Structure 1
Amino acid sequence: MHPKTESHNVPIIKAERGFRAWWMLLRPHTLTAAFVPVIVGTLLALQVGPIHIGLFLTMLTASLLIQTATNLFNEYFDYKRGLDTEESVGIGGAIVRNGFKPQTVLNLAITCIVVSILLGIYICLQSSWWLALVGSICMAVGYLYTGGPYPIAYTPFGELASGLFMGVVIILISFFIQTGYLTSTAFIHSIPIAITIGAIMLANNIRDLDGDKENGRKTLAILLGRQNAIRFLAIMFIVSYCLIFIMIIFDYSTWWSILAFLSIPKAIQAVKRFVGKTKPIEMMPAMKATSQTNTLLGFLLAAGLLISTIISQ
């Protein structure tokens, strides 16, 4: 669930045309938050038995579609509220910058939701219809993140909602559809991923702090203040790595999961690049590093799970 992009009168992304314009509209850098949890959840299931490749691919596609729909709803509602201009910082504002029709963006978002529902029906047929309820809640949160009268992204709960539904819930669903049950191991593995997904949202809110405050929003970054928000971002990273170490020590995870620690330099880089910065354009490298931290940590954790499974066989 990618948060909004504010207008700060500092150009950073030029107008795009053709395929690249469509690709940027989907906000591809956010999609790692959709497929990393699916991969981690599936590899956790692989440790206890064979996996159903068709279910994995279906879950992966559905997760990516829901994330894409969330991004498109974000684009549409930010435009409707007059928050995006041609000078918006970030890759938002495609409607005003690249000439997309608002209705086209909305229709594309709805199409993604419809297709994900169809995929969800297949998943339910292969596992449990209780997932229909869980999936419906996930799609509703995706819409309400920036849609509706009280968007979640404009409150202090944006990071929590993103981490909970994109991290914890997606990992647990991915594990459940393969095994038919849930374990504490799957839940514990979901927490570090959830935290780093929430960190992406916090990084965006730190960048957009001044503009959000002008628009009367109450994001976590605003409530904490810029400096404390940066400190909190660092704490989120520290907690994530400490949890992975605890998982290893108490045999919830394999020692191969220590590979996730190779992403620590990127986390340090993300925090350092925020320090002393006040202009949104100056904080873009920090945001990028935060997103990369989530990607690297997730893939390295997944790699550790895969290696341990191969060795044990």
Structure 2
Amino acid sequence: MATADAEVSRTKAWLMAARPQTLPAGAAPVIVGTGLAVHSGVFAAIPAVAALLGALLLQVGTNFANDYFDAVNGADTAEREGFTRVTAGGLIEPARVKQAMAATYALAVVVGLYLVYVGGLPIVVVGLSSIAAGVAYTGGPYPYGYRGLGDLFVFVYFGLVAVMGTYYVQAAATLPWVDPLALAVPAGTVTMEAFVVSLPAAGLSTAILVVNNIRDRETDAASGKKTLAVMLGYTWSRVEWLAMVGMAYVVPVFFALDAEFGLPALLPLVTLPLAVSLGQTVLTRTDGEALNPALERTGQLLAAHSALFATGLALT
């Protein structure tokens, strides 16, 4: 239910709003990008930690934004089967949640200033567009999350941009000097390898959203929230989930066939039984009783797959 029936402490309510169970989606791509940086000999600890902190702040800020805007837009109703939302549930005043969103994004900007010093103005573009995308997902006059574009947002920002951005700041940090006001991207900091490495994190992050949207398909449709699951229906949404998860297991094989990486790149395949188990649920169930646990387990799959992939890349 979207509305809380029992009293919840203020601290617990804020934890519910921040949704710590979603943090693997913020951390996983940074871990993968760092694994590739180690492989390529460009690992830089401080930029890696800053990228991780920035990614987690963006994740939490987006969680606050979704909680606030879904409530004020009427998308969170009493029939929703997902985890309790604090704004719609009346646990925290809407204005406070909005202030928390702004404060969290402001902290992300502070962290981003250091990354701009390391990597130049391209980081400004990445950072500000990430914040704008997080707010516009469910906020603003035309929230694109209500128009079937949420999956694309997650794929791009929690996969491609996050992994490649993490690799970029570390590669840039190893150069003699990068002008913080430079718009040009230094040679060797954006690579095809980084793009391909980002695909599993992009796919599994999107799979989390697909599970969420399959669970909420009926209530989203009733409230006018046109997610991709609402548009595609259950069958094609499940096909999307299979494609996103399947890609996460094809990419490591691709790297294992490259002599530069070899068999350690296959480490993520250890998580395949978990993916198969999740598939049995996602492909047959639509209720919150089954899909709420599946949602958390998909986040765990993302975390485990990313950690093992990063380890495999670093070992080579």
Q: Secondary structure at the match of 2:218?
A: helix
Partner of 1:136: 128
1:120 aligns with 2:112: yes
Partner of 1:20: 12
Letter in 1 for 2:230: I
1:307 aligns with 2:315: yes
Structure 1 residues 252 and 95 mapped into 2: Cα distance closer, same or farther (>3 Å)?
Answer: farther
Q: Secondary structure at the match of 1:42?
A: helix
Q: Given the two structures, how large is their TM-score scaled by the length of structure 1?
A: 0.89
Q: Percent identity?
A: 29
- Residues 253-278 of structure 1, C-alpha deviation per residue, up to 9 Å, x if partnerless? 44212110111111112121123323
What pairs up with 1:1-313 in 2 under 5 angstroms? Answer: 7=2, 15-85=7-77, 88-97=80-89, 99-180=91-172, 181-251=189-259, 253-308=261-316
Q: Distance in 2 between matches of 1:155 and 1:254?
A: 42
TM-superposed deviation, 1:252 = 6.4
Q: Distance in 2 between matches of 1:197 and 1:155?
A: 19
TM-superposed deviation, 1:194 = 0.5
Indicate conservation of the 8 Å contact 2:80/2:219, yes or no. Answer: no
Q: Distance in 2 between matches of 1:276 and 1:185?
A: 36
Q: Distance in 2 between matches of 1:162 and 1:100?
A: 27
Q: Distance in 1 between matches of 2:266 and 2:6?
A: 40
Letter in 1 for 2:50: T
Q: Distance in 2 between matches of 1:26 and 1:66?
A: 11
Q: Secondary structure at the match of 2:40?
A: coil
Q: Distance in 2 between matches of 1:291 and 1:243?
A: 19
TM-superposed deviation, 1:243 = 2.0
Q: Distance in 1 between matches of 2:78 and 2:221?
A: 20
Return 5+ residue gaps in structure 1 as ranges.
Answer: 1-5, 309-313
Q: Given the two structures, how large is their TM-score scaled by the length of structure 2?
A: 0.88
Where relative contact order (Cα < 8 A, 6+ residues apart) is larger, the structure is 2
Indicate conservation of the 8 Å contact 1:260/1:297, yes or no. Answer: yes
Aligned length: 300
Q: Distance in 2 between matches of 1:56 and 1:254?
A: 25
Q: Secondary structure at the match of 1:97?
A: coil
- Residues 114-153 of structure 1, C-alpha deviation per residue, up to 9 Å, x if partnerless? 1111111111112212211121111110111111122122
TM-superposed deviation, 1:34 = 0.7
- Larger mean CA deviation between 234-243 and 139-148 belongs to 234-243
Dislocated runs of 4+, deviation >4 Å: 85-88
- Residues 220-276 of structure 1, C-alpha deviation per residue, up to 9 Å, x if partnerless? 212221133223312321222112211221346442121101111111121211233
Return 5+ residue gaps in structure 2 as ranges.
Answer: 173-188
CA RMSD of aligned residues (A): 2.1
Q: Distance in 2 between matches of 1:15 and 1:40?
A: 40
Letter in 1 for 2:229: A
Q: Distance in 1 between matches of 2:69 and 2:10?
A: 23
Indicate conservation of the 8 Å contact 2:16/2:85, yes or no. Answer: no
